[in-house]
Amino acid sequence: MSRTVYVNGAYLPEEEAKVSVFDRGFLFADGVYEVTSVIDGKLIDFEGHARRLARSLGELEMPNPLTEDALLAIHRELVARNDLTEGMIYLQVTRGAADRDFAYPKDPDPTVVLFTQARSLVDSPAARTGMKVISIPDIRWGRRDIKTVQLLYPSMGKMAAKKAGADDAWMVEDGFVTEGTSNNAYIVTRTGKIVTRHLGEEILHGITRAAVLRFAREAQMEVEERPFTIAEAQEAEEAFITSASTFVMPVVELDGTPIGTGKPGPVATRLREIYLEETRKAAT
Ligand code: PDD
Task: Give the tens place of pLDDT for each residue, 160-213.
Answer: 999 999 999 999 999 999 999 999 999 999 999 999 999 999 999 999 999 999
| pLDDT for the residue numbered 8 | 97
SS3 string, 95-145, reads CCECCCCCCCCCCCCCEEEEEEEECCCCCCHHHHHCEEEEEEECCCCCCCC
Under a CB-based contact definition with an 8 Å cutoff, are residues 133 and 55 in contact? no
- For residues 142 and 277, membership in a common domain is answered with yes
- For residues 151 and 211, membership in a common domain is answered with yes
- For residues 113 and 220, membership in a common domain is answered with no
Ligand 1 neighbourhood includes 148 CB (under 6 angstroms): no
Q: What is the CATH number of the domain that holds 18?
A: 3.30.470.10
The band of 263, judged by pLDDT with boundaries at 50, 70 and 90, is very high
- For residues 104 and 135, membership in a common domain is answered with no
Please tell me the distance between residue 208's alpha carbon and the centre of ligand 1 in angstroms.
8
Find the domain containing 200 and state its range: 125-282
Q: What is the total count of domains within the chain? A: 2
pLDDT above 90 for 108: no
- For residues 130 and 184, membership in a common domain is answered with yes
End-to-end CA distance of the chain: 26
Under a CB-based contact definition with an 8 Å cutoff, are residues 145 and 184 in contact? no
- For residues 95 and 137, membership in a common domain is answered with no
Domain closes at, from 86, 118, 150 = 118
For the chain, the farthest-separated pair of C-alpha atoms sits apart, in whole angstroms, at 57
Encode 23-36: b = buried (16+ Cβ within 10 Å), e = exposed: bbbbbbebbbbbbb
- For residues 57 and 135, membership in a common domain is answered with no
Please tell me the distance between residue 152's alpha carbon and the centre of ligand 1 in angstroms.
14
- For residues 137 and 228, membership in a common domain is answered with yes
| pLDDT for the residue numbered 1 | 77
- For residues 130 and 268, membership in a common domain is answered with yes
Mean of the pLDDT values across residues 14-29?
98
The number of the ligand 1 atom at minimal distance from the alpha carbon of 90 is: 21
The pTM assigned to this predicted structure is 0.97
Domain closes at, from 84, 118, 152 = 118
The number of the ligand 1 atom at minimal distance from the alpha carbon of 209 is: 13
Please tell me the distance between residue 106's alpha carbon and the centre of ligand 1 in angstroms.
31
- For residues 97 and 163, membership in a common domain is answered with no
| pLDDT for the residue numbered 69 | 97
- The mean of the pLDDT values for the chain is 97
The number of the ligand 1 atom at minimal distance from the alpha carbon of 52 is: 14
Task: Give the tens place of pLDDT for each residue, 47-106.
Answer: 999 999 999 999 999 999 999 999 999 999 999 999 999 999 999 999 999 999 999 999
- For residues 209 and 226, membership in a common domain is answered with yes
User: Which of 60, 79, 83 has the alpha carbon at shortest distance from 71?
Assistant: 79
Q: What is the CATH number of the domain that holds 133?
A: 3.20.10.10
- Distance, CA of 177 to CA of 175 (rounded, Å): 7
Tell me which of 47, 51, 243, 245 to substitute to probe ligand 1's pocket, judged by most ligand atoms within 8 Å of the beta carbon. Answer: 243
Catalytic residues: 147
| pLDDT for the residue numbered 73 | 98
Domain closes at, from 95, 118, 141 = 118
**Cβ neighbours of 209 (radius 10 Å):** 23
Tell me which of 32, 33, 35 to substitute to probe ligand 1's pocket, judged by most ligand atoms within 8 Å of the beta carbon. Answer: 35
| pLDDT for the residue numbered 44 | 97
- For residues 148 and 114, membership in a common domain is answered with no
Mean of the pLDDT values across residues 212-218?
97
Please tell me the distance between residue 243's alpha carbon and the centre of ligand 1 in angstroms.
5
| pLDDT for the residue numbered 273 | 97
